[in-house]
Amino acid sequence: MYPPPSRDASLTPVIDAEALEGRLLFAIPKKGRLYEKCIELLSGADIQFRRSHRLDVCVALNHNIALVFLPAADIPSFVGKGDVDLGITGHDVVLEAQMDGLVTEIARLGFGKCSLQVQVPEASPIKTVEDLAGKRVVSSFKHLTKAHFDNIDARLHLEGDQKTNIGYVGGSVEAACALGLADGIVDLVESGETMRAAGLHAIATLLETEAVLIKSTTPKRPHVAPLIDKIASRIAGVIAASKYVVCQYNIHRDNLTAATAITPGRRAPTISPIEADNWAAVSVMIEKKKSALIMDDLVRAGAEDLLIFNLNNCRV
């Protein structure tokens, strides 16, 4: 992918304020569920870099960009305050940091998808969030959880000591009920395996979330705006390429109308004449997740010599 960082300390680049001067600062999660996907995304957008294991800042080799590796929870604040220009983090993290008014979501990135859910023990008599209101709830998403239960408390006319008691835990939230610390929790659920292993089940969903590309609503460095647009366009191309494939096939012109109805393309299919009498070659973008079904339909419509090509990047 990229050349490995040098093990020779004398060859390790020194990053200082002068080296970052004038560069677009791009914040990337330094670890966790989003990190690996972000690295793949940077590769697809042709942002090349070498990162020393001892540094959380590195400069791109082929763009006027510096990558800043930060905890995902800190990225909305850095971007919202204009300390960095661009960032990738979770939509849920932006809302929890209460930075949604200070950052602009440029794009949803299609990975890191999960749900922020209210969960209670399977054996609990609590079946709804109304049952849980007024009891103990813990979460690492304290602001979102409090806002959710404040609405429920108000609707149920719970006041003072009757209101839902919201507590914060930084990790292993799913253990809180078993330890007797809470009657319910609010936590992210991806596959649900951890939730089920802890003997919990979901009774409500606060929001659906995924990774997002964000920029500052009031940037401090307006001179990097053109580069932000370029990087955003490249990333959008990588995301689109992950959703589409190119389908090519040959079809007799008597069946062309039926075939192009199956594959209308994003704007229109490309149709080219071929040497065989009254036959045409068709090239068209189709959704990757529907490609097998589309190929089945094309065969029934008389298409031959079907080919599917993956895309590395595109602009659509």
User: Domain holding 102: CATH number?
Assistant: 3.40.190.10
Is residue 284 within 8 A of residue 247, CB to CB? The reply is yes
Residues of the chain with pLDDT > 90, as a percent, come to: 74
pLDDT digit string, tens, across residues 125-141? 999 999 999 999 999 99
191 and 131 in a common domain: yes
Same domain, 14 and 95: yes
- pLDDT computed for residue 15 by the predictor: 59
Same domain, 82 and 215: yes
Residues 13 and 56 in one domain: yes
Q: How far apart are CA 234 and CA 240, in angstroms?
A: 10
Strand partners, 107: 213
Are 26 and 96 found together in one domain?
yes
Tokens at 90, concatenated: 């979770």
* φ, ψ dihedrals at 250, nearest 5°: -105, 145
Number of domains in the chain: 3
Nearest Cα to Cα of residue 66 among 10, 28, 32: 28
Task: Identify which of 205, 213, 164, 165 has the alpha carbon closest to the alpha carbon of residue 188.
Answer: 205
Span of 45-49, 86-90, 244-248 with lowest mean pLDDT? 45-49
In a domain, 3, yes or no: no
